Structure 1
């Protein structure tokens, strides 16, 4: 800590200050951090807007609260290592808008009981300003993993950026891209991805959408996989681009399938085979092809 830096403003840091310190959690003195952690309880509200988190700092915070938190504000926070919120329960509103996940984040088996905001967040597997050539265990090669998560109310990902990292597997030379996992997720409220850029493979096998699913004006650079998914209140893909196609095999879509202006290249169509669509597809074009059961 620089000499004389008695608050974060002198460190050009605009992060939220701790209640017991003029500094944020990242810049606070060890004694202030320990005092803050000691006062946390399961279900606690937290404001760490704009805070930088190392792996160790996030682990210390998680240990202090346990896997149950209240209203949390991580707006603009920067997670400098792999972030793990697996099996957490967010009892209040969760704000991750503008957050930056540099080395992936796991929300596997998480339960969000109130509204969740990921607007403008960035999800990367590794800091892409550095060397792109790494070796991974492919099962862990995710930028964001929400597998088996439960969202009780609305979740928004407006203008979020899900980055891709292409890696070379040594001795094989195969390029592998990162993935975003929504397999078996249950969305109880509306899901809004409008305007997002998704460069990784998007996996949503068996996901259930109990309210509107809005993926309007999105750019999907990697494959999109929603096989066996269920959309109970419509699926909106208007003006979205599927640059490497996708699959919605055996998906069930009720109350409208909207694809006006959506586009997929001829060689990479969106496969809709075996699907059930309660109402006719609106804007169904030659580039989005399939053989599903269409019912009006």
Structure 2
């Protein structure tokens, strides 16, 4: 209502500078309380008794006039004023206004009132609402040691000074939507109904230390120029909502209690976020939040999900969290970051990493600034599991001491520059002699589950399995990442996985796949020394057996020498008979002497030397083959050992 609108009450007839006073007439008089003459005012005040209703809407007030009005309403014994319902809407106070030691049986309303100074309410209790909606206060507003049994209405109030809302309890709702003030203090207040600060503007700091919000609190689109302190605050039932809030300073939630979660979606936070010792019983969301100068978040302990999806971190930040799940989908880090996690499943899908970002599993519990260990109720699995890095440019990503058994790598780029530090676990194949022990990617597990079934981990709902042609480059890039980090033994399993995917890739040529099958069968791609040695022993055994049965002659040929002499010179010619193939039963060929000769032939063949032994035609060709095959098998075995121990 503007000053030119006719009021909704009987209007005072007093004219001041040509304008009619908006004050409400008193009783049958034609003037408001401020414009009654002395005798009329005295008569009216004398008629008042404790418990009377007051209606002085639009009346101009001073502190002395207010004191005169309340004097007849005070109990003689206690000195406290007792009022029924009090309507002071649109009143105009000159200077400060003080209300002390008053009991309102009903509401007390100062809606749209204008105060030339501050408003100080001390030791006041209202049986109904306390209203300051749309009021204009040139100074501070203090409510000290006050109780409000009904609602507290501060809609669109404009307070140029500080608001100190030290109310013991608000029995129902507390509405501060659209309010503007300097500093705001709500320490220790208990709000039994819904509390809303949506759209409020606090030009200084805000303190809610020890406050209790029974039905939760809404701080959507609130703007706080300084820090916001919620140490020891309790948010029951409906939790807390800070969606769209703009907090320029730190946000402190030490020892706070969130019974139903909290959301900071779309919020802009200028300083640090402290959750030291806070107890969160549900999820916490920071979706699309912007952290302008945040250097530290946490330690945050949450038995549910902490969601940083689409959030933006503008400066270097340290994030400490112990949670069931931490989501960083499409999160953007415009500076360095250290994510120190406990228990959590960390999802980094499509995150934008512009500077080095480290995701590390923390083995020790977080501690408070006082050095006390922070409890972690509801969290049992101590592994930190990274579930996805798909869509991430991994050039600046570091994963340390995390579980990668379920991590999705397909669609990530620059995986060859990914750094894996500490002990990063990957899923093994199913137990049993069919599958070699090695580290495998989750995507290979998903593909093999579609092909071989039991023992391999199937893809979770919503995840499409990828074939060998897609997985081979992923293994190759991860292998290079470990090799560049001087961890060639650790890269061996990734090389094995790469070769496996190439062997199973239907897009590869048949000749390439055949060659890879042979390489796999002989030595496990040069990584399985036992397999190569087994083939070597088998080849040597077969060579020895063939030599004993067919390769050694029946007997060593005796050379025969013949010569001539001419009296001065002797000429000798030695002829060696051709080796005779062995004859007789096979059992008579398996003699110790023949075994010793066969072993000598095989031993020389392994080191690529000729034995010098007389052999049959079959034996000669077998030795040639052995000199080619057996050194190669020995070389594969040595290569496999080297690949496992090289530094």
Q: Please point out which of 248, 253, 256 is paired with 1:272.
A: 253
Kept after mapping to 1: 8 A contact 2:13/2:20:
no
| Structure 1 residues 263-295: Cα deviation after superposition (integer angstroms, max 9, x where no partner) | 112xx1221222111122122556272212211
Partner of 1:194: 177
What TM-score does the superposition give when structure 2 sets the normalisation length?
Answer: 0.39
| Structure 1 residues 56-93: Cα deviation after superposition (integer angstroms, max 9, x where no partner) | 11111111222111111111001113212122111122
Mark the runs of 5 or more structure 1 residues left unpaired by the alignment: 1-5, 126-142, 165-178
Residue pairs, 1:272-291, within 5 angstroms: 272-283=253-264, 285=267, 287=269, 289-291=273-275
Partner of 2:14: 8
Kept after mapping to 1: 8 A contact 2:230/2:254:
yes
Residue pairs, 1:95-134, within 5 angstroms: 95-125=109-139
Mapped partners of 2:247, 2:109: distance in 1 = 33
Q: CA deviation at 1:124?
A: 2.2
Kept after mapping to 2: 8 A contact 1:89/1:110:
yes
Kept after mapping to 2: 8 A contact 1:120/1:159:
yes
Q: By percentage of residues, which structure has more helix?
A: 2
Mapped partners of 1:7, 1:259: distance in 2 = 49
Whether 1:295 aligns to 2:277 is: no
Mark the runs of 5 or more structure 2 residues left unpaired by the alignment: 1-11, 75-80, 283-647
Mapped partners of 2:29, 2:167: distance in 1 = 42
Q: What SS class does the counterpart of residue 189 from structure 1 fall into?
A: coil
Q: CA deviation at 1:156?
A: 0.8
Whether 1:161 aligns to 2:158 is: yes
Mapped partners of 2:117, 2:70: distance in 1 = 18
Mapped partners of 2:98, 2:254: distance in 1 = 36
Mapped partners of 2:90, 2:118: distance in 1 = 16
Partner of 1:170: none
Partner of 1:254: 236
Partner of 1:216: 198
Mapped partners of 2:63, 2:129: distance in 1 = 26
Mapped partners of 2:104, 2:189: distance in 1 = 20
Q: What SS class does the counterpart of residue 85 from structure 1 fall into?
A: strand
| Structure 1 residues 196-253: Cα deviation after superposition (integer angstroms, max 9, x where no partner) | 111x211111111111111001111011111111111101000111111210111111
Q: What SS class does the counterpart of residue 156 from structure 2 fall into?
A: coil
RCO higher in 1 or 2 (8 Å CA, sep ≥ 6)? 1
Mapped partners of 1:92, 1:76: distance in 2 = 19
Partner of 1:180: 163
Mapped partners of 1:8, 1:101: distance in 2 = 21
Mapped partners of 2:198, 2:192: distance in 1 = 18
Mapped partners of 2:67, 2:268: distance in 1 = 50
Mapped partners of 1:46, 1:184: distance in 2 = 23
What is the aligned length? 257
Q: CA RMSD in A?
A: 1.7
Kept after mapping to 2: 8 A contact 1:99/1:121:
yes
What TM-score does the superposition give when structure 1 sets the normalisation length?
Answer: 0.82
Kept after mapping to 2: 8 A contact 1:148/1:182:
no
Structure 1 range deviating more: 220-229 or 103-112: 103-112
Q: What SS class does the counterpart of residue 25 from structure 2 fall into?
A: coil
- Which has the greater radius of gyration? 2
Q: What SS class does the counterpart of residue 148 from structure 1 fall into?
A: strand
Change over 3 Å in CA distance of 1:11–1:263 after alignment to 2: closer
Mapped partners of 2:268, 2:109: distance in 1 = 40
Mapped partners of 2:127, 2:111: distance in 1 = 17
